[in-house]
Structure formats: C-alpha cells, structure tokens
Amino acid sequence: MTDTHTPDAPVLHARGISKFFPGTIALDDVELRLMPGEVHALLGENGAGKSTLIKCLTGAYRRDAGTLLMDGQEIHPVSTADSQRLGIGTVYQEVNLLPNLTVAENLFLGRQPMRGGFIARRRMNEEARAVLAGYGLRIDPAEPLTAYSVAIQQVIAIARAVEMSGKVLILDEPTASLDHDEVQLLFDVIRQVKARGLAVVFITHFLDQVFAISDRATVLRNGRVVGECLLAEMTQRDVVTMMLGRQLEARTKARDVGPAGKTLVEIDDLGKRGMMAPFSLNIREGEVVGLAGLLGSGRTETANLIFGVEPADQGRIALRGQDISIKNPRDAVAHRFALCPEDRKIDGIVGDLSVRDNIILALQARQGWMRPIPRAKVEEIARSYVRALDIRLASLDMPIRLLSGGNQQKALLARWLATNPAFLILDEPTRGIDVGAHAEIITLIEQLRADGMALLVASSELEELVAYSTRVVVLRDRQQVRELTGDQITPDNIINAIATEEVA
Amino acid sequence: MIRSTHLPLLITLATFVLAYALCASAYPAMLSLRVVANLLTDNAFLGIAAVGMTFVILSGGIDLSIGSVIAFTGVFLAVILRETSMHPLAAFALVLLLTTAFGTAMGATIHYLEMPPFIVTLAGMFLARGAAYVLSTESVPITHEFYDTLQGLYWKVDGARFRLIGGLMVLTFIVGALVAHRTRFGQNVYALGGGEQAAKLMGVPVARTTIGIYAVSGGLAGLSGIVFSLYTSAGYSLATVGVELDAIAAVVIGGTLLTGGYGFVAGTFFGILIMGLIQTYIVFDGTLSSWWTKIVIGSLLFAFILLQKGLTWAAKKRAAQARMRTATGSAALS
C-alpha cells in the first residue's frame, strides 16, 4: 500500500474547507493534510469546528467551499456510505454497531461472503475470526456483539471501518468511555492500523493520549486552523496555549478578598468509581471557588456529584459541620443547594413553559406540589428577578425558548436564586451567550459572593475564572491536580496546571 | 451450542412439546397423524401471513392490514372467476401482484414520509377492507374445476390427508427462514430492527429494505388470501377480521421480540402450532366454549411478553456485571 505514495503526498488533503450555518461561520478556510501511516490528532475546544470538519469529510455535511483530494483526485462524498466506499471509515464514541447481531454479522454486514445466493455463515465466521485475530482479538465471532465489552466493540468497529475503507480511519473520541487498560488495547490496534499505511485521525480531549499515540496535530479554534505541528517538537503546554488561544502574559487581578466567612460546605473524598476520582473541597460563605480544566476533565462531573445528579459511591458531604446525605437533586435542594447545569437546553429550561413558570419551578418544587405558591406571589417573585437580573423579554408569559441564550441563562439563574440558596453551583454559566450578558453574569456572581453566598463555578473561560474566583481548583483527567489561591490565580498558572505532566 | 439469543425459541419449542403432551394425555387421539394434518391445513393461511408479519416485526414495524388484504384477495378472486373466464392461475398472479404493490406502497409511505408503520398500515387495513366491500358485500362462492383439482391434491399417510395448502405453508416457512437468516436482505431486516440509525451508518440500504419488508408482507398476505379461498371455496368481505392480531400473537409466542431485532421465523411456526393446538383441544373437549381459545392465547401472550421482559432485564444485568468486572480488574492493576 505505502509504496504507491511518496512520503510527502497526503492520502487525504482537505483544502480551503468552509462551512456556513445561519449566523455563524463553522469552518473558515480549513486545511487538513493526512499522510499515510500517521496518526493525526485533531484538537480544539468544544465549538472549535472539529466535528463539523469531520462531517464534511464523511459526507454527513456538504461543504460550502474548498476541495477534498483523495490520492490527488477530487472527491465529493454525499453520504457516510459514500465516503466509506471512497476509503474514509469513521468510528464514533458511541459504538455504532448493532447489538442484536453477532460479531461476525456486524463485521460483514452488507458484504457477507456468499455461496450459491446464500450467506456462507461458516466462512463468514472463519473470516471474522481471522480478521479479528489480526487486531489481537481472540473472540468467538458467532457470539452476539453485546457479549463483549465496549472496548472490544470499539475494536470491532475499527476493524469493520478498516476492512471496508482502508485509506483513512477517523476516530471520534473513541476512548471517552474506556478505562486505562482498554485505552491501551485500543492504542495497540491504532498502531497496527497505522503500520498498515492508513492515515488515522484521532480526536480526543485527553492530551496525554494525544501525545502517547499521535505523530502530528492540527489545532482548530473558532473554525480556523491555528496550526499544524509535529507533536514530537511540542509540549502539552504549547498545545493547550494553541487550543485556548491565550498569550501567556502575566496578568493578575487586583482582587479584594472579602472577609472569609465560616466554612459552609465540607466535601470529603467524594467520588464515584469510573466517573470521578475522590476529591475534597471546603467552601466558605462569601467565596467563589472556580473549577478549571479542559473539556472532559471532570468539571461537570464534580458539579453533578455534589448536587446528587449522579449519586456518589464514596465520601461524605457536611453542611455547617453536620453530615448530610445527598442521594438525588431533591435532597440537594432541600439543603438549599442550587445547580445551574451546563447544557441549559437539555438540563435546564423547559422550553415551552412561560418565563414565569420557569423561574418559579425550583421554588415550587421545593415547596411541594401540595402547596401552590399564590399567583400574586409568583408574579411578584418573577417580576423582581426579571428586574434585578435585567432579563429582556416581551412578557412573562412568553415561552422561554424564544429568549436569547443570555436571557435564558439569566432566567435559569433567577430560578435558583428564587430558592434563596446557600450554596450555588454554576456549570459554564457563560457558555454561548453574547458579550454584554457575559459581563452582567460575572458582575452578578461577584455580587452574590459579596452578599455572603458560597459559589462553585465551573468554566472553560480562564479569564473569567480569574476574574471572579477567590480560589481555583484545577482538574485533569477527572482528578484534582492543583489548587490556586490569591495571587497564584492567573491564566498562565491555570494553563500550566492543566498541561503539567502527571508525576506518577 | 446454545446461545442466549436462542433461548426464546427454545422456550417456544418447550411450550409446544408440553402443550402437546398435555393434550395427548387428556385425549390420546390427538397424537394421531390426522390431527397433525388438520393442524397444518386449518392454520395454513394464518401461518403464511405470520411469516410476513415475522419480517415486519423483526424490523421493528407492524402490519395491521393483513386481515383485510386476505379478505380482499378472496373477494377479488371470487369476483374475477365469476365475472371473467380468466384462469385461476392467472388470477393468482394478478392478485399477488396487486397485494405486493399494495405492500410496496405502504412501505414507501412509511419510509419516505417518515410515518409510523402503525398508522400507515391502519390506513391500509381500512383501504383493503373497503375495496373488498366495493367488490361485493355478499359471500361469493367459487366454483371452478381448477379449484376442485387443487383442493383434491393431498398426500395420504395412514388415513391422514396432508393437503396442498398445508404444504404451501411449510414451504413458505422454509423459504422465509432461509431468506431471514441466509440472505443479505434478511440480515438487513435484523439490522433495521437493531437500530435504524446504526444500520444507516453501516451502509444498510434502509429505503430498499423497509419497502421490501412491507412488499413481502403484502405479497404473503395475498398468498394467504389465495390459500384462504382454497380453504373456504368462497370470497367474503367480512372474513378474516382481526387475523393480523392472530398473526402478531403467533409471532410473539414464537419468541420474536416486539421491539424488533431478535427472533426466528421457525419460532413463528411453532407459535402457529401452539395456537392451533389450543383450538384443537377445545374441539376435542366439546364442552368448552370456543372463546376459551382467546383466553388461553391471551394468557400465553402475556406470559411470553413477561418472559421477553425478563430476558432483556437479565441480559442488561449481565452486561452491567461484565462492566463492573472490567472496572474492578483495571482498578486492581493500577
């Protein structure tokens, strides 16, 4: 295979790829060169355009501009099946195989060996066994797919993609739900595929894994290519800097650390196996603790564990020195905790309910449905928060989905503020909202802190964390790696903490 | 080797053996070949329709039009043979073409308009029944020497007559099983039942397969209608009301999962035999109301649905345990 290519000729060359969505430019003149026999990491924070680029390559989206050259020939894939035929195979985080078929049936679906018009089952099983053995899997291909672990299913999906396509293999977050040993198994397979001369595109949020397996990387930010680099010449710190786009100027904020209140929440070794390593955290009244880390580092998981969205299987939480048990969000609300979730469209707003009902939802839920809040009181609460947070709307009766992102976010904040929480957790409070609303929410956070509330804020915006946090906890690979206080809180230090190699 | 996916089929088989043993212990005469031959003859039309239904349910769909299509086929044949001099074989070909086209149209509607199969085939059910009424509201007798010839065909063993239509049903089951398990079309049907999105990403021709499934179901309903007209020597627009529900019951008792993806054509065969057996028992008993058939079938269905739930639950639990094992295993290593 490899001898048909000179080392410098890319197998797949995407040039000047642009993709527009109403109101946004998802990809702007993006170039991607994939060499045979290399693992190419595609990096970027959420919304950088990675998945849009992949969808343009696999034909799931039609590109609006640019050319796609496969071995020098221009190609126009119109569907995933089409791009498979052209030689581009894709494996997704969620295994896209069929749980009701056997391993061999999955491997050969659509191209089964035939004899006399019928599928030659025995031969299919034998061939499947041989193919999988080539990937180091010695399993019975006549067993149903679900008899095997996700990692093995992932390898089967890779085997199918490689056997069918054989030029480019795109792995979209294949390791997201695998544990350490399973990742190693997958890496062995990736190395074999690479040795066969395929170009492998590897997408992940785990930087350690990028450096462990990849040869080169293309970094995207805001739909543009920031750079293409040989990873051997880079450090994790360089890559993080490229991804986040911060110039590492020393910038500290003159902060007035308010009088440290009493310890409100004490978290001791709280964790859940397979989700989050045990962590401890004390939060005092009048304090904002920032949670920093790349996507997938455990920010949301931390928030969910504390709030009982995911019940923890170890550790304890104490409120004002008293042990409390939080098994679900109801318990958390009862202890005057509040959580504004990351994805407000899915976890937060109830799109078709009015703004008023959305604001009153949590308070009413805590009261219980047996004791409805009087209409006049509802009106008063809703009005006061709309005024206080400057939520812009035509009327309180309009469905909340019609509001802009920033106003939705403020309405969600209002929902939880109405319950008068002692401890407020905000997960990405400024994701996807415009600059003006952004500044208002930051001001609001500082105001709440000054009023003596305890806040835990998870964010990927470093500047923002630096602006309002009294302490910053840095997470990495679902573990707490550092805690920064006072003058240590700078974007520079946070990036360093994120990128530092783990000292084993 | 016994695999977990074969378990529902084995349970169906065991149920059949047990039911037959119970019947035989009460009425030893039920062990005779004549009973077996009658079982095949009496359930031939239902069995053929149930093969089509098996494909539909395997793909995760449903076809409610079957009973009406059978009635329409019967009336159509009776009217054609009365009004014209067309040879029955030509009429058979014509009606098979019509019913297959009808199924194709329903499949295309389901796929291209992204409509739920339940609604589309419900409309098909009314359409076909209405068309049968339009042709004739009366029962139309069929008198044709070719019909007599076909009805006279049988294979006699020890006084038991294995008739043509019973043989046709067995043949349909064999072909159906081969298509389901040994052709790409059959594999695609299972793939659709396992998950349409994943199937699409794996390159399964979803449009062709969906349309094909309902075409097969429509065509087999047509064949079932032909067999029914041979069985009753008449076409009547009020006949075979609710046969689609009997077919669904046979498929489910045969161990096919109603949500699609898991099951066997052979299972449906034993589902049909179990239902036929219950009916035969009631005939032998003579004192029981024939409605007891419904009650027993209802209870059986309920038992099988519970069984399916139980099996799914057990499989999930096993998978969860496997995950826990790998998790603890790696924790021990690190």
Q: Does residue A84 belong to the interface with chain B, where contact is any CB pair within 8 Å?
A: yes
Among the partner residues B190, B322, B330, nearest to A181 by beta-carbon distance: B330
Q: If you measure CA to CA, which chain B residue comes closest to A122?
A: B182
Distance (Å, whole) CA B184 – CA A119: 7
Which of B7, B57, B182, B258 to mutate: most A Cβ within 10 Å?
Answer: B182
Rg (CA), chain A: 26
B201/A121 touch (CB, cutoff 8 Å), yes or no:
no
Residue B222 contacts residue B99 (beta carbons within 8 Å):
yes
B203/A105 touch (CB, cutoff 8 Å), yes or no:
no
Q: What is the pLDDT of residues A456-484, one digit of tens each?
A: 888 877 777 887 888 888 888 777 778 88
Region of A223 (left: φ > 0; alpha: ψ -120 to 50; beta: rest) is: left
Q: If you measure CA to CA, which chain B residue comes closest to A98?
A: B194
| B190 neighbourhood in chain A, CB within 8 Å | 98, 100-101, 105
A182/B330 touch (CB, cutoff 8 Å), yes or no:
yes
Q: Would you state the pLDDT for residue A343?
A: 67
Q: What fold does the segment set B4-327 form as a domain?
A: ABC transporter involved in vitamin B12 uptake, BtuC (1.10.3470)
- What is the end-to-end Cα distance of chain B in Å, rounded? 37
Residue A170 contacts residue B318 (beta carbons within 8 Å):
no
* B241: exposed, middle or buried (Cβ count in 10 Å: 0-12, 13-18, 19+): middle
A100/B262 touch (CB, cutoff 8 Å), yes or no:
yes
Which of A55, A94, A101 to mutate: most B Cβ within 10 Å?
Answer: A101
- Residue A77 is which amino acid? P
Domains of chain B by residue range = 4-327
**Mean pLDDT, range B29-36, rounded to an integer:** 89
Q: Where are the alpha helices (DSSP H) in A134-230?
A: 150-164, 180-195, 207-213
Q: What is the pLDDT of residues A270-317, one digit of tens each?
A: 888 777 778 888 888 888 888 888 777 788 888 888 888 888 888 888
What is the distance in angstroms between the Cα of A470 and the nearest Cα belonging to chain B?
A: 35
DSSP class of residue A4?
G
Q: Would you state the pLDDT for residue A248?
A: 39
Among the partner residues A100, A142, A149, nearest to B190 by beta-carbon distance: A100
Q: What is the pLDDT of residues A423-454, one digit of tens each?
A: 888 888 776 665 566 677 778 888 888 888 88
DSSP sequence for A375-436: HHHHHHHHHHHHHHHT---S-TTSBGGGS-HHHHHHHHHHHHHTT--SEEEEESTTTT--HH
Residue A146 contacts residue B322 (beta carbons within 8 Å):
no
Q: Does residue A179 belong to the interface with chain B, where contact is any CB pair within 8 Å?
A: yes
pLDDT in tens, chain A (504 residues): 444 444 568 899 999 999 887 766 788 899 999 999 999 999 887 667 888 888 888 888 888 889 999 888 888 888 877 888 888 988 877 768 898 899 999 999 988 999 888 999 999 999 999 999 988 888 899 988 888 888 888 889 999 988 887 889 999 888 776 777 788 888 988 998 899 889 999 988 777 888 889 999 999 887 889 888 888 888 877 887 787 765 433 333 445 555 567 788 888 888 887 777 788 888 888 888 888 887 777 888 888 888 888 888 888 888 888 888 888 888 888 888 888 877 666 667 777 788 888 888 877 777 777 777 788 888 888 888 888 777 777 777 878 877 766 777 778 888 888 888 888 888 887 766 655 666 777 788 888 888 888 888 888 777 778 878 888 888 887 777 788 877 777 777 888 887 775 443
CA distances from B157 to A226, B20, B42, B162, B163 (A): 83, 21, 18, 8, 11
Residues 115-144 of A with CB under 8 A from B: 117-119, 121, 142-144
Q: Taking Cα atoms as reference points, which of A10, A475, A485, A486 lies closest to residue A228?
A: A10
Q: If you measure CA to CA, which chain B residue comes closest to A111?
A: B184
- Give the ipTM: 0.84
**Could you identify the residue written with the tokens 């239904």?**
B53
Residue A195 contacts residue A226 (beta carbons within 8 Å):
no
| B255 neighbourhood in chain A, CB within 8 Å | none
Say whether A503 sits in a helix, a strand or coil.
Answer: coil
- Domains of chain A, CATH where assigned: 2-100+144-244 (3.40.50.300), 263-499 (3.40.50.300)
Q: Taking Cα atoms as reference points, which of A163, A195, A157, A189 lies closest to residue A87?
A: A163
What is the distance in angstroms between the Cα of B318 and the nearest Cα belonging to chain A?
A: 9
Among the partner residues B183, B194, B195, nearest to A118 by beta-carbon distance: B183
Alpha-carbon torsion angle A399, A401, A406, A410, nearest 10: 50
Residue A58 contacts residue A80 (beta carbons within 8 Å):
yes
Both tokens of A11, joined, read 């197998």
Distance (Å, whole) CA B252 – CA B194: 17
Distance (Å, whole) CA A189 – CA A204: 16
Distance (Å, whole) CA A222 – CA A209: 23
Q: If you measure CA to CA, which chain B residue comes closest to A83?
A: B203
How long is chain B? Answer: 334
Q: Does residue A177 belong to the interface with chain B, where contact is any CB pair within 8 Å?
A: no
* A432: exposed, middle or buried (Cβ count in 10 Å: 0-12, 13-18, 19+): middle
Distance (Å, whole) CA B74 – CA B95: 9
